[in-house]
Amino acid sequence: MKLDRTYTLKEISEIVQCAFVGNENHKITGINEIHMVESGDIVFVDHPKYYDKALKSSATTIIINKEVECPAEKALILSDKPFDVFNQLTTHFRPLQSPHAQERQFIHPSVQIYPNVFIGNNVKIGKNTRIYPGVCIMDNTTIGDDVIIGANSVIGHFAFYYKKKESGYDRLHTCGGVEIESNVEIGALCTIDAGVTGITYIGKGTKLDDQVHIGHDTVIGKDCLMASGVGIAGCVKIENNVILWGQVGCASDVVIGEGAVVYAQSGIGKDLEPRKTYFGSPCAEAKEKFKEMAAIRQLPELLKKM
């Protein structure tokens, strides 16, 4: 998430009432969680396992719960509760807003909007798009030309990102959005979560069947095909021309290579190479998985002979 202007480290520290390490005029231009950071961003880290990852990331300001040596050209904001400070900042710069009547200059006159459709704040919709009954398009969503969104789908709901505390689960404030390119088709009852601080992206020409879920900050390439029941976790990268058949599930932070095909009910837990066909849970190349299954079917007879 880019800020409305460049802020100094001192200004940000005053907003959250935290001590800092670094030049008080150190520049801050954005706020992002660890998967989305770039130079100028603030990120948070609250577990020793991820200290190095955050400190060595592209982020140039780190909210951290331990006094450590500050990397060159970076700054630290010190807090016992980095998660809460990060939420405080994202809420400060992009608070939740109640729906309000907007001018429709960002919705093309040719768009067909069926009854009972909800459209949130800061939404842009291109020409010849059709939005069927019951669809909810939440804040900060951009939709291209010639897009079809099936009945009762939800675009841009909160990211599924929580921290366990003694009082229960606390959700990371969602301030990102969704971008859907032209010629995309989204079936009925699909759910596409907004990015935590960035953008969940659906590439041009991709088609989603009914009841497909796409997690926060996932990036889907061009001309992909996903059958009913597919569930994609957050921060997944799916390259162009990927096919996922029914009820495929994918863990977070995975890359699925261009042209990969994954057969129904498979579980993806690690990166998949391009232009190969996969099956099983955990999935592997389909031809090898089928050999394993054939071998397993022979086990009862082999055991009888022992």
24 shares a domain with 67: yes
Residue 182 lies inside a defined structural domain of this protein: yes
CA dihedral 163, 168, 173, 179 (to 10 degrees): 80
141 shares a domain with 62: no
269 shares a domain with 157: yes
Residue 297 lies inside a defined structural domain of this protein: no
Mean pLDDT by 10 residues, the chain (306 residues): 96 97 96 93 94 96 95 96 97 88 76 95 96 96 98 97 94 96 98 97 98 98 98 98 98 97 97 97 92 85 77
Active site residue 216: yes
CATH number of the domain bearing residue 140: 2.160.10.10
- What's residue 118's pLDDT? 94
256 shares a domain with 144: yes
- 75 to each of 68, 87, 106, how far by Cα in Å? 11, 19, 39
Which DSSP helix (H) or strand (E) runs through 64? strand 61-64
- What's residue 102's pLDDT? 62
181 shares a domain with 32: no
- What's residue 291's pLDDT? 87
DSSP-assigned states of every residue in 70-93: PPTT-EEEE-S-HHHHHHHHHHHH
Structural domain count, the chain: 2
- What's residue 224's pLDDT? 98
126 shares a domain with 259: yes
Nearest Cα to 256, choosing from 227, 235, 228, 229?
A: 235
- Print the domain residue range for 57: 2-93
161 shares a domain with 58: no
65 shares a domain with 183: no
136 shares a domain with 89: no
15 shares a domain with 137: no
CA dihedral 78, 84, 85, 91 (to 10 degrees): 170
Question: End-to-end alpha-carbon separation of the chain, Å?
Answer: 64
The one catalytic residue in 26, 173, 213, 216 is 216
- What's residue 105's pLDDT? 62
- What's residue 211's pLDDT? 98
- What's residue 28's pLDDT? 98
pLDDT in tens, 181-235: 999 999 999 999 999 999 999 999 999 999 999 999 999 999 999 999 999 999 9
221 shares a domain with 185: yes
Residue 191 lies inside a defined structural domain of this protein: yes
- 102 to each of 61, 70, 92, 98, 297, how far by Cα in Å? 35, 45, 22, 12, 62
Residue 107 lies inside a defined structural domain of this protein: no
pTM for this entry? 0.92
- What's residue 103's pLDDT? 54
- What's residue 104's pLDDT? 59
Residue 305 lies inside a defined structural domain of this protein: no
